[in-house]
Structure 1
């Protein structure tokens, strides 16, 4: 018997369209050194660890007549070679070329007839480096029953570990009669499932009617009380193509700003994003109309028994904040952002960054997936930008002996949202990943450059308050962020 899809997971599938695929991704850059890390070693590593994430060998199976929500079932035709793919850049490949390849890959929806994930091993990066792109559907990674595959692939030492794999055999293929009988039994045993089924069928009919009428978004908004996304340069109708920009900035610089002005590193990250949006808008020779106060959703880790429990030791909640893009002073922008999170910190619900960074495995990949899910649930309330910042370990991690030197989250774009920002700190650096619609934000690379300038502006302001830490120095402590 498979696990039935929950309503919130069904909602994620319902949001998906060719212009808004609902998967998150992570790009990790490795220095193989003498480890011999290549495509074959990656396949062996995944085969050795995939038993820790059994849903990665399952696919969605629909119930005839929609008598119940679809279920996760073992894929009898599971083929690891299909999911773990090999790609290459023309040597010596640049980061720009890698970003372009990643943008093309994340633009494509996952095949729903198979387990909802893919991994790409990319060779040819300059300096002998390689990259691994992991792509998983948001319905697959819920943090409750399933964590992201990336969380189980990395080790804290360069010594390769073998966990022995498993003797997995797929469960017997479900028949239509068996699926119907199972659905009827579930409904009798758990009456609440009937309501879930009705809700799921109604949503499906709504989407169908909307598409036929050519007004799917308007119909859905009207019947679900969803507020329209505020108009701005970072919102609009999406194309089917993406752009991806990555920026790596020293964590020590973020901490220097925090130490000078108070708050947390998360506040500094948000102030940096705010300053970058301001610089980008001004570089366009446009007024700040539409981005003067950007309504943002920032998923945060909390301890709250009323929220859905996760396997990560905390729950994830949506914090809404207005990013003061129109404010000319970088220090005032920082204080305004910090003040918006003060109530959250004062309640005692907040989870310290060093606790999150200490979770076993590379948990940022899972936290980012859950953060994207939380943002999707906030769509009905209307906002313009999602910013997800996740602290990671401040010591090196390895895959089959190869050291991970960079890691960038790539979030999906929600319908009507032309930009998403995701951030991961790791091993002394803060890694920014920007996902943008290719047509609506052709100049998103300028926004990436503005991130560096915005942090520099904050550093200049911090230098007036206290001596500035040397640029690029890796901190020796993990501390509270």
Structure 2
């Protein structure tokens, strides 16, 4: 493998991916509130390869990549008390052959068999004493192809950070890249044990008290003397907070109510990126608007098949909070909840309405509410955080995320990556949909609650029809 970006080889970026020594508060909440499988924080990427790579070369490439990206060899250390986020520390007993495995798919090697294998692997919880990732090379796919299932804990990164990582350790050519650099040394003062971490975090909290108090006094004085707009800003933020915390104004679907999250069903769809972009352009929307419109079209058809009329569907959409100068990796997103216009039959109109909804959501001052409440939830018993996390997740029936992938061919140890299908967890939703645009193809991965959707074949027929409906509007 070679570290690559659109501008060529940039080796130094890999060592800075996920370089923070501590989790942020949102990552800590996902880590401490996890209750498998309903509140799982496992995310997966299923890479379809045009051939099986040479195993020795593949393992050597993974050895190099894990040395270059320090986070791959780090585990989580919790403080003894919930006084602050956990730290990332080196796993002194790191074993690559535990994290990278190899298997052969039995039978005819169909996509259905591969997806069944992937969903089973995804449901297995991580060993929380080791680095939070696992990779499995799957051979024996039909047509001589292979697959690579990469499984990550969400506290490591969000979807965009995962794409950043893969783009850094994939090559632009099949040929072996000689003379790859080694990882630069890191002079990080890792805590030696949970006692030291606890003492360090508590000391940091104490040192922050004077600054917090001074800002509170200064802000209060300005509000009282009228020399600032802080009061008006606080009122606007409070109004936004009420809107963002309120449940989406959508009637619950009678078909998707039994959401236990104990059974995951992986399914995939794909379409040409150019077709989805053309549909978005026709409706003056974005690629994401067209993608969500296709999901809603399929879900409307599914309800119609069961004789259920529905106008709106409670939906959550992750919104990236990353800035251009933010370091790579980690989690920087907020969840935007809204009532999605599932009842609009015209796909162009549906895209246009979604455009207006999304633009309104993105300017909400309190959009990133989770980062505000996460520090509070991280200082109380984890059971309370689990309850809050479950309530937030259950507020929606559909979750839809979209992450831009690489626009050019990439390779892993000589095997070309043909597709990249993403799969997220089911934090209370009935359908978790994720899309990655990879080299001109939109790869859509669906994680479906098997308790909420029992007739999976009918459901997927409807979802495929919804995708075709949107991508065909300019035909």
List per-residue Cα deviations over 1:195-235 (Å, max 9, x = no partner): 9xxxxxxxxxxxxxxxxxxxxxxxxxxxxx88599743335
User: Does residue 1:16 correspond to 2:29, yes or no?
Assistant: no
User: Does residue 1:64 correspond to 2:80, yes or no?
Assistant: yes
Flag the 1:128–1:143 CA change in 2: closer, same or farther, 3 A: closer
Partner of 2:49: 30
1:189 Cα offset (Å): 4.4
What is the TM-score normalised by the length of structure 2? 0.72
What is the TM-score normalised by the length of structure 1? 0.71
SS of 1:64's equivalent in the other structure is: coil
Partner of 1:238: 260
User: Does residue 1:7 correspond to 2:25, yes or no?
Assistant: yes
User: Does residue 1:266 correspond to 2:288, yes or no?
Assistant: yes
Aligned positions of 1:191-202 closer than 5 A: 191=209
1:324 Cα offset (Å): 1.6
Flag the 1:300–1:237 CA change in 2: closer, same or farther, 3 A: closer
SS of 2:140's equivalent in the other structure is: strand
1:190 Cα offset (Å): 4.6
1:149 Cα offset (Å): 4.3
User: Does residue 1:323 correspond to 2:349, yes or no?
Assistant: no
Partner of 2:468: 456
User: Does residue 1:99 correspond to 2:115, yes or no?
Assistant: yes
1:49 Cα offset (Å): 1.4
Partner of 2:314: 295
Cα distance in structure 2, aligned partners of 1:192 and 1:446? 61
8 Å Cα contact 1:50/1:149 also seen in 2: no
Task: Give the superposed CA RMSD.
Answer: 3.8
8 Å Cα contact 1:74/1:171 also seen in 2: no
- Any unmatched runs of 5+ in structure 1? 196-224, 348-375, 469-481
SS of 2:112's equivalent in the other structure is: helix
- Any unmatched runs of 5+ in structure 2? 1-19, 214-244, 365-388
8 Å Cα contact 1:143/1:312 also seen in 2: no
Aligned positions of 1:89-168 closer than 5 A: 89-141=105-157, 149-162=165-178, 163-166=180-183
Flag the 1:46–1:332 CA change in 2: closer, same or farther, 3 A: same
SS of 1:60's equivalent in the other structure is: strand
Aligned positions of 1:275-314 closer than 5 A: 275-283=297-305, 285-289=306-310, 292-301=311-320, 309-311=326-328
Select which of 396, 402, 405 maps to 1:383.
396
Flag the 1:273–1:14 CA change in 2: closer, same or farther, 3 A: same
8 Å Cα contact 1:409/1:424 also seen in 2: yes
User: Does residue 1:44 correspond to 2:63, yes or no?
Assistant: no
Flag the 1:53–1:97 CA change in 2: closer, same or farther, 3 A: same
Aligned positions of 1:406-417 closer than 5 A: 406-414=419-427, 416-417=428-429
Cα distance in structure 2, aligned partners of 1:454 and 1:386? 16
